[in-house]
């Protein structure tokens, strides 16, 4: 079991799960996904109204629960990586401001700031 923060797991190359989480995050924030959810809810309500056997109703409910659980895991991963990227940028900005106040001119903090700003585009 890996207990490190997703953004600290190493390398600039994203792993398959991270790519899946990012793609899932993009898809679930789309109007298409919202439409699919509306259709699924309408199907579930329709199944209740027409009085299908309880077995079918349980199947539909369990399938929706399973999809929800998977989406929570994927979206949480994406959220943690975005949170860490924002924190790195804030740390780099603070360090660059301190460096600028000391009057040494552009130095290591500016390089870290440039790196942090480019990291978001690569992830």
> Under a CB-based contact definition with an 8 Å cutoff, are residues 24 and 99 in contact?
no
pTM attached to this predicted model: 0.55
Summarize pLDDT for 56-70 with one digit per residue, the tens: 888 888 988 998 898
Summarize pLDDT for 69-107 with one digit per residue, the tens: 988 888 888 888 888 888 888 888 877 777 777 666 666
What DSSP line would sit under 16-62, residue for residue?
HHHHHHHHHHHHHTSHHHHHHHHHHHHHHHHHHHHT--HHHHHHHHH
CA atoms within 13 A on the CB side of 87: 9
Q: How many domains does the chain have?
A: 1
pLDDT band at 31 (very low <50, low <70, confident <90, very high): very high
Summarize pLDDT for 3-15 with one digit per residue, the tens: 555 555 555 566 8
The reply to whether 52 falls in a domain is yes
Q: How far apart are CA 79 and CA 61, in angstroms?
A: 26
> Under a CB-based contact definition with an 8 Å cutoff, are residues 61 and 44 in contact?
yes
Residue ranges making up the domain that contains 72: 24-101
């Amino acid at each position: 079991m890996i207990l490190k923060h997703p953004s600290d797991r190493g390398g600039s190359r994203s792993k398959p799960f991270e790519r899946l989480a990012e793609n899932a995050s993009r898809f679930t924030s789309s109007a298409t996904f919202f439409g699919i959810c509306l259709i699924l809810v309408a199907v579930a309500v329709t199944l209740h109204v027409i009085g299908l056997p309880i077995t079918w109703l349980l199947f539909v409910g369990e399938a929706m629960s399973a999809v929800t659980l998977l989406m929570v895991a994927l979206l949480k991963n994406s959220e943690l990586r975005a949170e860490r990227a924002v924190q790195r940028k804030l740390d780099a900005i603070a360090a660059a401001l301190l460096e600028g106040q000391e009057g040494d001119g552009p130095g290591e903090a500016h390089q870290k700031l440039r790196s942090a700003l480019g990291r978001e585009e690569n992830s």
